[in-house]
Amino acid sequence: MPVSSHYRAAPRFLELGDGFADPVQPARFPQHRLRFRNQRWAERIGLGELDEAEWERHFARFEPLPENVSEPLALRYHGHQFRNYNPNIGDGRGFLFAQLEDPVDGRLLDLATKGSGRTPWSRDGDGKLTLKGGVREVLATEMLEALGVYTSKSYSLFETGENLHRNDEPSPTRSSVLVRLGHSHVRFGTFQRYLALGDRERIERLLDYSVRHYAPEAAAEADVPAAFLRIVLERSAALCASWMVAGFVHGVLNTDNMNVNGESFDYGPWRFLPTHDPRFTAAYFDHAGLYAFGRQPQGVLWNLARLGDTLAELTDPSELERVLGAFPEHFLRHHREKLAARLGLVAPDDHVAMELQSVCRAFLEESQVGHDRFFFDWFGGAASEARAAASPEAERYGGPGFTALRRAMDACAPIDAMRLAQPYFEGAGPVTLLIDEVEPLWDAIAERDDWSLFEQKIAAIRAMGEATGLASAVRAR
Ligand code: AMP
Ligand code: MG
C-alpha cells in the first residue's frame, strides 16, 4: 500500500489496557460508491496516494492500516443526554479504526467511523448512518473548518446501497458510512462511565492517558486533575466562543458529544442561524430549547461540571470548583478574539476589543441583519465601506447601534487589507449553509442523484475559507 513518509501509525489507545473498548466486526455493505474523499487531509496524514481500490479497501471494507489498530474498537462511554444520565450508550454505530500522529503538529489523530454496523452498544439501533446524515456531517465539518472552528474533519463518505428506516426522514432512505478524522474520541462521557461504575482505578488510567497524549502541560502541575480540567475548560470555552461567532448551533450538546480536546464533532441536527436569535434551536426534539443558540455557553459549562464530578474522585473538589468559576472569563476572551478575526480586524487593546464585542452583539440582535451577511459586508472594517453600502442589507447599517459599532470597528486595524482583493469579496454575498440551502441540496441527490450542488457548495465553502484566511488559522492549531 503506497503510504507516504508522512504516514505515522500511532495505535496508542491500546495503552489504556482492558475495559475501555470492545473489538467489533465492520458491517459488509452491498455497494460502495465513493461520494466524498478529503484529499487535502489525506495528503496531510500520508494517505493521499491511495488509489480508488485501496481507499475502498480501508474506508469501506475497513481492512486495517499498516502497523495500526488491528481490529476495530467500539469505544465505551456513558453520558448525560439532555441532562439525563444514560449508562446504555457507547459506540453504537461506529468504532475507532486507526490512530496516527499528525506530521505537521504531532497531534494524536483518530480515524473513526459512523454507520459501520452494530456493536455491543447498539441497543435496538441498526448501527447504520443515512446518506443524508453523512452528507450533512460532511457539510457541517467543511463549513466549520472554513469559518475557523476547531472541528473534526469528514475524511471519507461511501454510499452503501441499503434501505434504512428512520422516523425523521422519509423512509426507506439511502445509507452511507462515514470516516471521521478527529483529535481523539475521549469524551466527557468516557470519564463519566468509570465514575458511574465506581472504577477509580480506570478513572486514573484514563486521566494518565489523556494527560500524556492530549494535555502534557498538566503533568508537571501539583494538582494534575485540576490542571487537566482547567485545560479542557479553556479549550471548550474557545470552541464554544467560535460556535457563537460562526452562528452555529450544534443541537445535541450532550456530555458524550464533547471531546476533551475542545474539538467539535458528531453532527446530527445542527443548524446555522439566519439572524442573531438566542432562542434559535436546531433539534426538532429539543422542545425546551435546552441547546438553543444563546444557551450553548451554559450547556458547555454544565458539561464541564460533569467532567469535574468525575475528577473529584481524584482531587479536592473545591479546587475543581475554582477552575469551573473561570469559564465566563475564558469564554468572553476567546469570543472577543474570534469575533475580531471573523471581521478581519485586530483590536489595538482589550478596551477596544471589549467595546467591539458588546456593540457588535447588540447590533446583530437589534438589527436582525443576516449573520453571515454582516461579516461578509464588513470584513476588514472601514475598508469595506463601499461594499457594505452596495449590500442588499445596507439600510440596516445606520442608527445609534450601528454608529457605536462603526466607531469600534474604526478603532481596529484590518488583519490583511489585501484579502479584500480576493474574488470572494467581489461576489454577490457570503457563502452560507442555512437549512433552506441544505434541504434543496439534499433533494437534488435524493430525487435525481445529482451531486453537483453538494460538490459546488464544498468548493465555495473552501474558497471562502481561503479568502478570509480563517481556515488556515484553524489548520495551524
Ligand atoms: P448520537 O446522537 O449520534 O450522539 O448517538 C447517541 C447514541 O446512540 C450513541 O451511543 C450512538 O452510537 C447511538 N446510536 C445512534 N444511532 C444509532 C443507530 N442507528 N444504531 C445504533 N446506535 C445508534
Ligand atoms: Mg454522539
Q: What is the pLDDT of residues 170-189, one digit of tens each?
A: 999 999 999 999 999 999 99
Placement of cell 443541537 in the chain: 251
Lookup: cell for 420: 479584500
Indicate whether this model's pTM tops 0.85.
yes
Q: How confident is the model at residue 4 (pLDDT cuts 50, 70, 90)?
A: confident
Q: Mean pLDDT throughout 314-340? A: 98
Please check whether residues 329 and 263 belong to one and the same domain.
yes
Q: Mean pLDDT throughout 274-290? A: 96
Mutate to test the pocket of ligand 1, among 78, 85, 122, 185 (most ligand atoms within 8 A of CB): 122
Q: What is the pLDDT of residues 44-92, one digit of tens each?
A: 999 999 999 999 999 999 999 999 999 999 999 999 999 999 999 999 9
In a domain, 262, yes or no: yes
Residue 46 has a pLDDT of: 96
Q: Mean pLDDT throughout 213-228? A: 98
> Would you call 281 helix, strand, or coil by DSSP?
coil
Ligand 1 neighbours (beta carbon < 6 A): 89-93, 121-122, 125-128, 252, 257, 266, 268
> Would you call 98 helix, strand, or coil by DSSP?
strand
Helix H or strand E encompassing 296: helix 296-311
Q: Is 68 exposed, middle or buried (0-12, 13-18, 19+ CB in 10 A)?
A: middle
Please check whether residues 159 and 29 belong to one and the same domain.
yes
In a domain, 29, yes or no: yes
Please check whether residues 178 and 212 belong to one and the same domain.
no
In a domain, 346, yes or no: no
Show which of 136, 165, 185 is a domain's final residue: 185
Please check whether residues 17 and 153 belong to one and the same domain.
yes
Instruction: For residue 164, give the ligand 1 atom closest to its CA.
Output: 19
In a domain, 314, yes or no: yes
Q: Mean pLDDT throughout 349-377? A: 98
Q: Mean pLDDT throughout 453-467? A: 97
Residue 162 has a pLDDT of: 98
Q: Which ligand neighbours the alpha carbon of 92 most closely? A: 1
Active site residue 256: yes
> Would you call 70 helix, strand, or coil by DSSP?
coil
pLDDT at 473 over 70: no
Please check whether residues 199 and 172 belong to one and the same domain.
no
User: Given the DSSP bridges, would you call strands 21-23 and 173-182 parallel, antiparallel or unpaired?
Assistant: unpaired
Q: Which residues contact 400 (CB under 8 A, 6 or more apart)?
A: none
Residue 355 has a pLDDT of: 98
Q: Which ligand neighbours the alpha carbon of 259 most closely? A: 2
Task: Give me the number of domains the chain comprises.
Answer: 2
Residue 255 has a pLDDT of: 98
What's the chain's average pLDDT?
Answer: 97
Rounded alpha-carbon distances, angstroms, from residue 81 to 252, 253, 268, 306, 465: 8, 8, 14, 12, 33
Which of 256, 266, 372, 377 is catalytic? The answer is 256
Q: Is 342 exposed, middle or buried (0-12, 13-18, 19+ CB in 10 A)?
A: buried
In a domain, 406, yes or no: no
Cα 164 to ligand 1 centre (Å): 14
Instruction: For residue 88, give the ligand 1 atom closest to its CA.
Output: 10
Residue 5 has a pLDDT of: 85
Please check whether residues 63 and 140 belong to one and the same domain.
yes
* 309 touches 189 (CB < 8 A): no
Residue 3 has a pLDDT of: 77
Q: Tell me the backbone φ, ψ of residue 160, rounded to 5 degrees.
A: -120, 5
Cα 92 to ligand 1 centre (Å): 5
Q: Mean pLDDT throughout 344-359? A: 97
Show which of 165, 185, 205 is a domain's final residue: 185
In a domain, 469, yes or no: no
Task: Report residues near ion ligand 2: CB below 5 Å.
Answer: 257, 266
202, 203, 235: which is closest to 217 by C-alpha?
235
Cα 254 to ligand 2 centre (Å): 8
161: containing domain: 12-185
Please check whether residues 249 and 219 belong to one and the same domain.
yes
In a domain, 401, yes or no: no
Please check whether residues 246 and 279 belong to one and the same domain.
yes
Show which of 141, 158, 185 is a domain's final residue: 185
Cα 12 to ligand 1 centre (Å): 25
Please check whether residues 44 and 66 belong to one and the same domain.
yes
Please check whether residues 173 and 32 belong to one and the same domain.
yes
Please check whether residues 204 and 274 belong to one and the same domain.
yes
Instruction: Pick the residue whose CA is nearest to atom 14 on ligand 1.
Output: 92
Please check whether residues 180 and 243 belong to one and the same domain.
no
In a domain, 352, yes or no: no
